[in-house]
Structure 1
C-alpha cells in the first residue's frame, strides 16, 4: 500500500512527502538540526542524510529542505521509501504533547514610512521574506491572510522576527496599533504558523539575495550586491523594509533596486536612495557617476 505521495513546492530546495493520513494534526514542527529533534526520532534519522538542511512536520506531510549537494530526482524515492519503512515498522513520527501556549512578546515600532508600522516578535517567524500586496498573495502566510481581514490593512511584509504592516489612511495608527499587536501575539502564542516555508515562491533576485546566476554577473554588479547585502540591507531591515538588487548598467552607471516593506512608497525613500545608498556606492566603488533608481520607490 502506497503511503506517501511526493509533491514539489514553490521552493525547488523543498520537497513535500504527503502521507495518506494525518501524522501531526494539531501542531507543526520545524527542525533545523539534529539537536532540535528530541520530539521526533524520525527527524533525527533524516538528519543522518548529509543533504538534509531542515525538516518540517505538519498535518499530513513531512517537508524536507535540502542542501545543494544533491538533486531531488536522485534521492527523493529513497527518502520516501525510508519514511514508509519507518512508519510501517510502527515508528512514531513525532511525540504527542499538550498544545501549551508559548509566551511571546510583540512590540510595535514606528518606521520612516508613516503608513507602515513594524511589529517585532520575540521569536523567529520566517527564514524567507514574504511580501503580500493583497489577500490573494497570502498562500504562503496564514498570518498575512488573517491580517488582511482587518479593513485598514493594505499590505503585509514578513521577514525574520517582524511583520511590517501598511495601512490605508482610513485609520490612524494610535487607533489600531494595540489591536494589531495583540492579534499577532495571540496568533503566534496559539501555535499558528506565520509563514509556511514550503509554499514560499522565492524570486530569483531573492536568492543570493539569493541570485542564482551571481557568478555570471559582471564584477561591478557582484560588488554592488555584496555592498547591499553587508551594509545596506541590515539598516533597511531595522526600519521594517528590504532592498533587492535588480540590475546595473555599465553604459549609464545606473543601479536599479526594488524596495519592499516599509521602504516601498516611503516619502523619504528618495532621500535615502540619493543621500544614503547612492553615496555609499559611489564611495565604496570609487565612482562618482553611480546613480541609484528604485523601480517602485
Structure 2
C-alpha cells in the first residue's frame, strides 16, 4: 500500500491519500485528543504529540501540525500510523463507521433559518454542495452550512481550511461572490 501526500493552502496541514475510502459518507473533524477518543486512528495521530487537528474526508485524511513542529519529522510518523491502520483494516471509529458523520457540536451557535426563506436556503445549500464542497475537499477540508439570516450566510470551515491563512479570502472573494451571483438575497458570508 502506498499513501500519497499533498500540500494544502494551509502550511500547517498536509493531506494524506491512502488510495481507498476513508469515510463512507460525511466528514469528521477532531480538534483535540478528547474529540479523538471515538476514533482509534485519530487518537493515534494525536498521540504523536505534534498534532493539533485531524480531519477525515471521503478519500483523505488531513493532519494539522502543532506550531513549531517540522513536517520533515512528523510526516513519516503519520504515514506509518496511516499504513498500519489501513493495512490492518481496523475500524475508523469505536463501534464502527456509523459514528463518523459530521454533526454540529452542541455549543455551535444556532443561526435559525426563517421558514419563509426555505427556497433561498435550498439554493444556498445546493450551491455549497455542488460547487463549493468539492473544491474545498481538494484542499483537504470541508465547509459546513450553519445558517442564513437577514441576508447573511454562516459557514464553518473544517480540516485544512480551518485556520488557513487564505480562508478569509476563500469565504469573501470566492464563496460570497458565487452565492451573491446566484442568490441575490445573499448580502454577505461570515465564518461561523
Q: Do these two structures clear the TM 0.5 threshold for a shared fold by scoring above it?
A: yes
What is the aligned length?
Answer: 181
Alpha-carbon RMSD: 2.1
Cα offset for 1:181?
1.6
**Structure with max Cα Rg:** 1
Q: Which runs of 5+ in 1 are unaligned?
A: 1-103, 206-212
CA shift digits 1:163-215 (9 cap, x unpaired): 1111111212122212212321222112222333233365269xxxxxxx9x9
Instruction: Please state if 1:126 is matched with 2:23.
Output: yes
Q: Distance in 2 between matches of 1:204 and 1:108?
A: 28
CA shift digits 1:206-242 (9 cap, x unpaired): xxxxxxx9x9862111110000000000000000000
Q: Distance in 2 between matches of 1:140 and 1:201?
A: 12
Q: Distance in 1 between matches of 2:178 and 2:116?
A: 24
Is the CA contact (8 Å cut-off) linking 1:188 and 1:194 kept in structure 2? no
Instruction: Please state if 1:187 is matched with 2:85.
Output: yes
Q: Distance in 1 between matches of 2:89 and 2:72?
A: 28
- Give secondary structure in 2 for the equivalent of 1:248: strand
- Give secondary structure in 2 for the equivalent of 1:156: strand
Structure number with the higher strand fraction is 1
Q: Distance in 1 between matches of 2:88 and 2:41?
A: 12
What pairs with 1:1-297 in structure 2 (closer than 5 Å)? 104-127=1-24, 128-195=26-93, 196-200=96-100, 202-203=102-103, 218-249=118-149, 251=150, 253-286=151-184, 290-295=187-192
User: Structure 1 stretches (4+) deviating beyond 4 angstroms?
Assistant: none
Q: Which runs of 5+ in 2 are unaligned?
A: 106-112
Q: Distance in 1 between matches of 2:144 and 2:117?
A: 15
What's the TM-score, normalizing by structure 1? Answer: 0.57
Q: Distance in 1 between matches of 2:68 and 2:102?
A: 32
Is the CA contact (8 Å cut-off) linking 2:91 and 2:97 kept in structure 1? no
Is the CA contact (8 Å cut-off) linking 1:105 and 1:121 kept in structure 2? yes
- Give secondary structure in 2 for the equivalent of 1:138: helix
> Counterpart in 1 of 2:109?
none
Is the CA contact (8 Å cut-off) linking 1:242 and 1:261 kept in structure 2? yes
- Higher normalized contact order (CA 8 Å, seq sep 6+, divided by chain length): 2
Q: Distance in 2 between matches of 1:238 and 1:255?
A: 22
